[in-house]
Amino acid sequence: MRESAPRGLQTPDVLLPDGWAPNVAIYWDESGLISEIRLSHTDPELPLAQGPVVPGMVNAHSHAFQRSIVGRTHSFTSPTDDFWSWREVMYDHLSTIDPDRLEQIASELYLDMTRSGYTSVCEFHYVHCDPDGNLYSDPDAMSVAILNAAEKAGIGLTLLPVFYEFGGFGEKDLENHQNRFVLSLGDYCDLITRLLDRTRDNPGIEIGYAPHSLRAVNARGIHQLLDHRSQHAPSAPFHIHVAEQIREVEECTAVLGKRPIEYLFDKVAIDEHWCLVHATHASSEELALIAASGATVCLCPTTEADLGDGVFSLSSYLELGGTIAIGSDSNICVSPFEEIRLLDYVQRLRLQKRNVEGITSSIGAGTRRYLQSLFGGSQVTGRPVGHIKEGFSADLLELDAHHSQLSGKSSDEQLNTLIYSGDSSALAAVIIRGETK
């Protein structure tokens, strides 16, 4: 009996962690994990990619429900409209979202992500309760809505239930709308334990921990989460918002006596499993702390621009050896190429130079940013994704070399064209865990 054809893809060029390689055969097993990579090898039994192949991008920070307010926050009602007034509009919209509506929003969003080139998403999920702040009859209902949505879309998921205790620095009382975010420590830990049990045998899902921010969780709360993590999932990802707004830095300094990142490092041992989301207003000393720890900074350029957050000191951080990832955050945009494009262009404007890092390389600046984002994204998912290497998920983007914008260009030029000028129409295929979407 003839053996069945191997699972895999023959590529003209592939982007490996250390750069481009020509004529590569990629094989994966039944579970969608890459089993073998053969360099300078042609396998006629494998389907031939229509162009260069790159790893699918990791979306390291998403609030799915906020997709439903896109376009609804741009009619300014005051000369001082800012992040904080935007937040009030977002809170007001929460009353329309129940588990069924959340699953619908997230399913549509995740499908858009896969079509755009994201193959995994880290969902920073903080709407747990009903509009009155009470648990649903099924206390896991909102988390299950996210799990179901990811399964429908076929996207890899790191679900990060959020712990939320207070309404601001100094353990302020919660505002009414924030009651939907709050679980007691016991309820939160029970939720994590149940989710770990529910997803234990699903290679497409990881469960992590997420204290919302130093505004919403104190140092004691963070340590309590870390204690639970050490007992149940020691290597699970640990994500937190930090230093997104100048007002946040000022309030933290006034109440806690230190800047947010400085305070966090003073109170907690941070390592490569941590993801610091935004870190927009990190000082040079704080950037050095993050880089030395091995933690990842997740940058969300389109959301940070929309909310007027500010600009992260990327070149200084990268010079220190820092690690980055990208995220869609409020989901005003769900294109990894748009995020990287804006990330790079804003830095060029800030520094008034094209070569932001001052580095010469055989690969384009877009490819460098893509690889940098993959490295950090891989770290913060807790799953083997983000690289084309053995044991990792076969999450691949196949570029269309015949697309009008890509035709006649080298593989590196094609990827740079996609990042700086293109969109998902230049993708021939998106493959997640070996399955074409």
Q: Which residues are catalytic?
A: 278, 329
Measure the CA–CA gap between 336 and 327, rounded to whole angstroms. 8
Judging by DSSP bridges, how do beta strands 238-242 and 274-278 pair with one another? parallel
- CA-nearest of 110, 49, 123 to 397 is 49
Bridge partners, 278 (sequence order): 242
128 three-state secondary structure: coil
At 191, list the tokens.
């939720």
- What's the Cα-to-Cα distance from 430 to each of 68, 114, 122, 284, 398, rounded to whole Å? 25, 7, 18, 39, 6
The DSSP result for 56-93, as a single string, is: PEEEEEE-GGGGGGTTSS-S--STT--HHHHHHHHHHH
Taken as a whole, the chain contains a residue count of 437
Which phi and psi (to 5°) does residue 380 adopt? -95, 0
- Letter string b/e over residues 223-236, b meaning 16 or more CB atoms within 10 A of that residue's CB: ebbbebbeeebeeb
What are the tokens at 80?
Answer: 């001082």
d(CA 178, CA 172): 12
CA distances from 251 to 146, 168, 245, 258, 282 (A): 33, 9, 10, 10, 14
